[in-house]
């Protein structure tokens, strides 16, 4: 590939480390931003239907609504079993969805996954009435299959649309979809569950939101810049040169090379730890603060949402800080990823454990620890292993994250079950402390492995060369130039 870098030719080996594109990037708000925003919103909506059950199930199993006609149930099955059941079916689907999306395009598969999720979630009230806990678990299993497919498929979109130098910023857009969804779903579900509408309408509301997103994705979602009918030539060239894509080129998946690369296993292990921690925070924190600190469901929802709101705001700074550190050469790409991952996960894990030492008579002292949990976790999600896979290969990142998701769910399904297995008295903070110490270890140890194995080098099996059309863009290796055009996002 010919390109200019201070009047010199940039070698392909230099480009494998990523480039800082200094040509015309097209509109300030381009089609790439629309694709990333749409997938972020979709991820957030699906995640909300996954996580909000930790609030809704409290209303399903105790009379919380002011309306006495709203049903509630007494089940022998533990809440942790019902909450974790969504992970049982997601594992196998994550394993194959990324590969299928890379081969055949992700748009329609994403739409189908989101639609199936909406149908299964909508059926939970009827399933609870007819089949009790078993009925709810069946709905959750269907949701798990849909959501297990959705996550690696969105990675296909990110791998095709996100330029190398914007990964942290675009990664934040993806992360904010999850965090905002937690805020909204947690607060809204708690308020509705206690109102005269009752918990079923908390579910129906998010089903409607899910369906509306499907309509937007149908009209606005595209697999890659090549098939988008209105993307500008400048933006398309910027994306393709940055990612070294080639029009319509299908590349065989180098399975053996991918899974004999230590850096890949560093990403997979780190994702297992990060996702386990996220699962515990989103599913058990609500139960923990209700049982130990005696918050009612409405207080619980507000206290659970505040940390996520603060982490969402801090994430903006973290995202730009990550890109700034890299482009200004304060740290290399790989050391930036290592620092964000380890600091974020360890900080969040310590905050989780320390929340159990708050005296019940000073319940609101737990709020700062909840805030630190979310803020530190955001640090790792914005600049750590969540985007490191794209450094290795944008093309095959969906496969890496599909396998990571499968392994994460295999480990994560035991998270909510720890509450059932290890806690006999849910009001005892010391019993919760044991659960959270185990969580901290499961989250932190894999991040140490990531520090040891991580790489920012485009792998030889992940390198796809492109011969872009004229005009030739001006580019340079990331970190070797800090010049930027006015139209840079």
| Segment-wise mean pLDDT, segments of 10 residues, the chain, 489 residues | 35 42 82 92 90 83 79 79 82 80 88 96 95 93 92 87 79 72 78 88 94 96 91 88 63 86 94 89 80 76 75 79 84 93 95 92 88 87 84 84 84 80 88 94 94 89 50 44 36
Integer angstrom CA distances of residue 341 from 270, 271, 346 = 8, 10, 8
* DSSP code of residue 471: S
Q: Is this prediction's pTM over 0.75?
A: no
| Predicted pLDDT of residue 284 | 79
* DSSP code of residue 258: H
CA atoms within 13 A on the CB side of 155: 32
Per-residue pLDDT tens for 262-313?
999 999 999 999 989 988 887 778 788 878 887 776 677 677 777 877 877 7
| Predicted pLDDT of residue 463 | 55
| Predicted pLDDT of residue 249 | 55
Strands 8-9 and 4-5: antiparallel
- DSSP string across 209-275: HHHHHHHHHHHH--SSGGG-SS--HHHHHHHHHHHT--TT------HHHHTT-HHHHHHHHHHHHHH
Give the CA-trace dihedral at 274, 277, 279, 285, to 10 degrees.
Answer: -150
Structure tokens at 346: 């360890």
Per-residue pLDDT tens for 160-189?
888 877 877 777 777 777 777 777 787 788
Per-residue pLDDT tens for 335-349?
999 999 999 999 999
Give the CA-trace dihedral at 391, 393, 396, 402, to 10 degrees.
Answer: -20
Phi/psi of residue 477, nearest 5 degrees? -65, 140
| Predicted pLDDT of residue 13 | 35
| Predicted pLDDT of residue 472 | 46
> What domains, with CATH codes, occur in the chain?
13-474 (1.20.1250.20)
Structure tokens at 127: 């399933």
| Predicted pLDDT of residue 114 | 96
Residue with tokens 């700074």: 317
The helix/strand/coil state of 280 is: helix
Cα distance between residue 453 and residue 448, in whole Å: 9
Buried b (16+ CB within 10 A) or exposed e, 225-247: bbebeebbebbbbbbbbbbbbee
Cα distance between residue 109 and residue 445, in whole Å: 34
Structure tokens at 140: 């959750």
Taking Cα atoms as reference points, which of 41, 44, 211 lies closest to residue 117? 211
Q: How many helices (H) and strands (E) does the chain have?
A: 18, 4
What are the start-end ranges of the E strands in 332-462? none
Taking Cα atoms as reference points, which of 151, 234, 164, 181 lies closest to residue 400? 151
């Amino acid at each position: 590939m010919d390109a200019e870098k201070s009047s010199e030719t940039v070698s392909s080996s230099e480009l494998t480390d990523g480039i800082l594109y200094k040509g015309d990037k097209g509109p300030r708000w381009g089609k790439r931003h629309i694709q990333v925003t749409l997938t972020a919103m979709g991820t957030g909506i699906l995640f909300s239907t996954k996580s909000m059950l930790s609030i809704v199930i409290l209303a399903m199993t105790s009379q919380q609504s002011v309306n006495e006609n709203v049903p509630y149930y007494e089940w022998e099955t533990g809440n942790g079993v019902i909450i974790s059941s969504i992970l049982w079916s997601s594992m196998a689907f994550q394993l194959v969805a990324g590969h299928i999306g890379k081969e055949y395009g992700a748009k329609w598969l994403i739409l189908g996954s989101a639609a199936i999720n909406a149908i299964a979630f909508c059926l939970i009230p009827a399933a609870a009435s007819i089949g009790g806990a078993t009925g709810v678990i069946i709905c959750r299993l269907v949701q798990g299959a849909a959501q297990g497919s959705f996550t690696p498929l969105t990675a296909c979109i990110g791998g095709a649309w996100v330029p190398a130098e914007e990964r942290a910023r675009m990664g934040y857009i993806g992360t904010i979809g999850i965090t905002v969804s937690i805020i909204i779903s947690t607060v809204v579900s708690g308020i509705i569950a206690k109102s005269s509408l009752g918990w079923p309408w908390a579910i129906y509301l998010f089903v409607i939101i899910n369906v509306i997103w499907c309509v937007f994705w149908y009209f606005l979602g595209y697999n890659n810049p090549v098939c988008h009918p209105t993307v500008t030539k400048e933006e398309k060239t910027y994306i393709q040169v940055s990612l070294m894509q080639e029009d319509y080129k299908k590349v065989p998946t180098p399975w053996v090379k991918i899974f004999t690369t230590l850096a890949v296993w560093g990403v997979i292990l780190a994702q297992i730890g990060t996702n386990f921690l996220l699962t515990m925070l989103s599913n058990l924190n609500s139960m923990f603060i209700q049982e130990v600190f005696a918050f009612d469901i409405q207080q619980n929802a507000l206290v659970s949402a505040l940390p996520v709101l603060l982490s969402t705001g801090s994430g903006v700074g973290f995202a730009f800080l990550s890109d700034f550190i890299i482009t200004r050469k304060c740290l290399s790409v790989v050391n930036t990823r290592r620092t964000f991952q380890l600091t974020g996960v360890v900080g969040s894990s310590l905050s989780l454990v320390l929340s159990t030492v708050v005296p019940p008579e000073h319940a609101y002292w737990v709020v700062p620890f909840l805030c630190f949990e979310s803020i530190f976790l955001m640090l790792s999600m914005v600049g750590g292993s969540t985007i490191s896979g794209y450094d290795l290969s944008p093309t095959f990142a969906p496969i890496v994250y599909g396998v990571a998701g499968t392994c994460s769910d295999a480990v994560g399904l035991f998270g909510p079950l720890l509450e059932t297995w290890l806690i006999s008295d849910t009001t005892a903070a010391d019993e919760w402390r044991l659960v959270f110490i185990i969580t901290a270890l499961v989250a932190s140890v894999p991040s140490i492995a990531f520090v040891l194995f991580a790489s920012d080098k485009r792998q030889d099996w992940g390198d796809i060369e492109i011969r872009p059309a004229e005009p030739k863009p001006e580019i340079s290796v990331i970190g070797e130039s800090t010049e930027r055009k006015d139209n840079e996002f």
